[in-house]
Structure 1
């Protein structure tokens, strides 16, 4: 896991160095740059695989291809063996080196062979081209923007702002080839279908109708794919641990990690003293035999951390901020013991874990699950990436393994929401039988912010710091501007308005607002005082 930055066209090398400084938290173990005519590539490294020789930027045997990558390629050993059999000579044991050799064989199509999470930038010195690509779900971040005659890129918005105020998010599951002589006007914003540069999707969430409705078949498929997904994500030359909230998703990941790990497995939980998450997590840890670590916090801790959390999160979405705060604390705790953790993100989107989904019929539910899964790149995946990397911790998400995603979208909604009571994530609960304590298997869904006791504390902080009249005025301004409260206008609650104000202190540039994702799982009343304020605004 790392941070990447650079420029293509007429890049300014000191600018790229400043960008890398802003990314130091993502890769404190090493830093490198490579420059040639019209190109600068930069990298900050968190050493996970091949601790000694995995320096980046990395080049092919003859130096024709140079690349930087953030992430992990889980099938790199298979790719490496095939490439060596074809005559390629490797200089390191790093997973990153397969990029430059596979590009020599397949060109930009190489990304279709990767099983992993990644954001990569590769320069072909012979043609002068630049290739950018992001993993299918957008687990790893990538942003771009133009300044003068240069296209700049970076892993985080804050770093890219060192070069340009015009920033846009590189889409998930997409690649882009830049020619050295083409104009850059089309890259001032995310390229559209009619622009000179066409973003080329190479992967998408399966669109076909579900064809697996038999509960036993569904269960066996989930179990086997989850076992394999966890197993490949234990690959590392450093200790690996697990986030453990005591909920179904993280507990199931922890159970498989425990089965597949020899030796000590560290688990980590945080929350307000006496919170449900701490209690359930301790129960699961005892049952699995992990070396368990806890951190408890109160309102003062939350308020002190909030500006730092929002600066790293690069979002003000209230549901995201709420869950980002405990993620920030648990990442800080985990980094004292390990460099890699497994996390349960993606299960709610794949297997219908959110309360609002219960109101949907079968076809609408299937479509909605596709929508929320496709939106993970700038919601929950952004949260996990930013909060873990704020502490130089790599987070891996087994539920979002591509095999699991393909299987999940073959499953009929009847095995996800089951029976008259609409039991959420039914097939996952069945997969957890015999692996986890019954109380955990049947524990109802609790969002991370609720289970840790964080949401109530944050709401009280917001009500103390933001007057209700301020919210009403913000809603009136949004109405006059024609911005719906449900879109990007930060006027749904005092809590959201507080987060927005902090966000704008760090990111005053207007273009940054377009990168903010919006969580769809918020139910009416969850944010607290939006109805009261709306009544006052229209009175």
Structure 2
């Protein structure tokens, strides 16, 4: 796991500043504190920060081929590199290291752009071929590893693992993209390929970008997508056995490391399944790490302990106080872009704990999206059945009216919050799902933004992100469609971003065996009834894990990695949230309706409504303005 950055002069006439490249590289020191390296030649500069995991004595980057004509900087892991070495050696390539990085340069020489199809792993890399005057930019299939880039007016192309690396460059414009602001307040993050800045982009998962010096600017090109190709299943027992074997293989590949290795263990199905499969293939006890909470409503530690006891793991636990909000101010520095998933706080803590004991940790990320584990999938299926019965022309006025008339009931269980259900039924499939997953509804965002800012949006709405993906989805099944939408948005923009930044802030490598593309390509083609059966999500995964995990772990109610925001904003953070949300910094942007913000604060702190999600989302946007853009807040100083 590492950090990469670089500058490519597309004209080939400008010299690259070593000092500038060094400063860009050092912003990512936390991603690779073990070593740093630069490569400069006319019109090109590549930077790398290394977290040594495999081949500790060699494998330094930037790494070149035998004659130095091909150079790469690489972040991630190629898990099948040992299989590719003999094949490449048979083609005449000579290896000087035992690292997976060197496989990339020789695979490029052997197979060109098609080399990426041969790689199994998580990766973002940029490769320079001097003879072809070509820069090849790649991101892995699920977007486990990040990659930001921008084309500058100077003719330079710059890139980095984190946005902060690009922001060092003096020619990078920092104009905030209003469409990204709309996206952020709907999703809680800025979905790919957009970033918070107009001039900066993220390379989407499963895409490459090939730049030739002197040639017209190229567009990203997709090399992989989730297949959803139907899988023949003879019987349920056979599918369970195959799933277990495929999971074991994926996990076995991710247990290769020359440094201490362990796993996160939350007590949920996914992380517990990963630990169980690790333990069955390890000759020594597995290192496991869990974060507990002193509030029972948020604590899953007893379930994690059951799994740890069953497999005799070296289990490490730390308890986080319910009022542990000391990291709130740090999140903007870690994430660069506005980011509103409050579970980033406990995720940061569990990465901090894990790094005390291991350098590599396996996680269960991806299980909910691929095996249909989220509760919202159940509700979506119920709503979709109704949508299939009643035409949209009838549903829109009928349920739209009911949605307007029915009172808001945030406090009630989901089944009694009919207002949200009516509103979803008044929409088509994609818009209905968007309504269910968005943090702030269309109506709330319309109230939040000022009239001037709404004009800047020129009619753009964040649902367009989902519509764009739905238009090219490789499946017609409604459940598979929304899983696909989550893979393209929530999984990469929220979950994987959260884990990457939190782990790399502690120089910890996290590997996601449930995001192996061969495993999940197979899972995508399974009958949907093996994923969501009745009200039971992750049906096949849970059945397959019954011999390995306690019943309580598999079939209890899903809890999640939550923090008590509502109580914070009425208690210890009440003054802070009032000062921030009603402060000069937010007002000075001209983006927000200050009267609506005041109403939200008053309603929440009086106990009339739970507006904690809106308040947290606004708080994190203000933190971005202050800590990333450096905007002043005179009200904060006066307070």
TM bucket (normalised to shorter chain) is 0.7 to 0.9
**Matching residue of 2:6:** 6
Q: Does 1:418 align with 2:557?
A: no
Number of residue pairs aligned between Structure 1 and Structure 2: 481
* Shift, 1:248, TM fit: 0.7
**Matching residue of 1:51:** 56
Preserved contact between residue 255 and residue 288 of structure 1 (Cα < 8 Å): yes
Q: Which moved more, 1:328-337 or 1:375-384?
A: 375-384
CA gap 1:424/1:464 in 2 versus in 1, 3 angstroms: farther
Q: Does 1:279 align with 2:302?
A: yes
Q: Does 1:407 align with 2:516?
A: no
Partner residue of 2:212 out of 170, 179, 186: 179
Preserved contact between residue 212 and residue 410 of structure 1 (Cα < 8 Å): no
CA gap 1:65/1:236 in 2 versus in 1, 3 angstroms: same
**Matching residue of 1:437:** 550
Preserved contact between residue 313 and residue 324 of structure 1 (Cα < 8 Å): no
Preserved contact between residue 23 and residue 168 of structure 2 (Cα < 8 Å): yes
Q: Which moved more, 1:454-463 or 1:335-344?
A: 454-463
CA gap 1:140/1:282 in 2 versus in 1, 3 angstroms: same
Cα deviation per residue 1:492-512 (whole Å; 9 max; x = unaligned)? 6112111211122223399xx
CA distance, structure 2, for counterparts of residue 44 and residue 229 of structure 1: 27
Cα deviation per residue 1:133-157 (whole Å; 9 max; x = unaligned)? 0001110000001332211100001
Partner residue of 1:292 out of 278, 296, 315: 315
* Shift, 1:463, TM fit: 4.5
CA distance, structure 2, for counterparts of residue 316 and residue 438 of structure 1: 39
SS in 2 for 1:448: coil
Q: Does 1:228 align with 2:252?
A: no
**Matching residue of 2:367:** 347
Within 5 Å, which residues of 2 pair with 1:361-400?
361=381, 363-375=477-489, 376-400=491-515
Preserved contact between residue 295 and residue 321 of structure 2 (Cα < 8 Å): no
* Shift, 1:327, TM fit: 1.0
CA gap 1:364/1:495 in 2 versus in 1, 3 angstroms: same
For structure 2, the 5+ residue unaligned runs are 174-198, 385-476, 595-610, 632-639
Partner residue of 1:313 out of 319, 335, 339: 335
**Matching residue of 1:483:** none
* Shift, 1:218, TM fit: 3.0
CA distance, structure 2, for counterparts of residue 468 and residue 353 of structure 1: 38
**Matching residue of 2:166:** 160
**Matching residue of 1:519:** none
Q: Does 1:29 align with 2:34?
A: yes
Partner residue of 1:500 out of 621, 624, 632: 621
CA distance, structure 2, for counterparts of residue 350 and residue 97 of structure 1: 32
Preserved contact between residue 24 and residue 44 of structure 1 (Cα < 8 Å): yes
Q: Does 1:102 align with 2:213?
A: no
* Shift, 1:314, TM fit: 3.2
Preserved contact between residue 468 and residue 494 of structure 1 (Cα < 8 Å): no
Preserved contact between residue 247 and residue 440 of structure 1 (Cα < 8 Å): yes
Preserved contact between residue 241 and residue 342 of structure 1 (Cα < 8 Å): yes
CA distance, structure 1, for counterparts of residue 52 and residue 108 of structure 2: 23
SS in 2 for 1:359: helix
* Shift, 1:62, TM fit: 1.1
**TM-score normalised by length of structure 1:** 0.84
Q: Which moved more, 1:280-289 or 1:500-509?
A: 500-509
* Shift, 1:345, TM fit: 0.4
CA distance, structure 1, for counterparts of residue 370 and residue 224 of structure 2: 17
For structure 1, the 5+ residue unaligned runs are 184-195, 481-489, 511-539
Partner residue of 1:89 out of 79, 86, 94: 94
**Matching residue of 1:513:** none
Instruction: Specify the structure having the higher radius of gyration (Cα).
Output: 2
Cα deviation per residue 1:341-368 (whole Å; 9 max; x = unaligned)? 0001000000111111102338321100
CA distance, structure 2, for counterparts of residue 457 and residue 296 of structure 1: 19
CA distance, structure 2, for counterparts of residue 433 and residue 123 of structure 1: 49
Cα deviation per residue 1:358-396 (whole Å; 9 max; x = unaligned)? 023383211000110122222101111110010000000
* Shift, 1:221, TM fit: 2.7
CA gap 1:463/1:404 in 2 versus in 1, 3 angstroms: farther
Preserved contact between residue 462 and residue 495 of structure 1 (Cα < 8 Å): no
Preserved contact between residue 569 and residue 612 of structure 2 (Cα < 8 Å): no
**TM-score normalised by length of structure 2:** 0.71
Cα deviation per residue 1:78-113 (whole Å; 9 max; x = unaligned)? 111111122211110111000111111111211111
**Matching residue of 1:326:** 346
Preserved contact between residue 221 and residue 407 of structure 1 (Cα < 8 Å): no
CA distance, structure 1, for counterparts of residue 573 and residue 236 of structure 2: 45
SS in 1 for 2:82: helix
SS in 2 for 1:373: helix
Partner residue of 2:74 out of 63, 69, 72: 69
Q: Which moved more, 1:239-248 or 1:199-208?
A: 199-208
SS in 2 for 1:295: strand
CA gap 1:50/1:109 in 2 versus in 1, 3 angstroms: same
CA gap 1:59/1:287 in 2 versus in 1, 3 angstroms: same
* Shift, 1:398, TM fit: 0.6
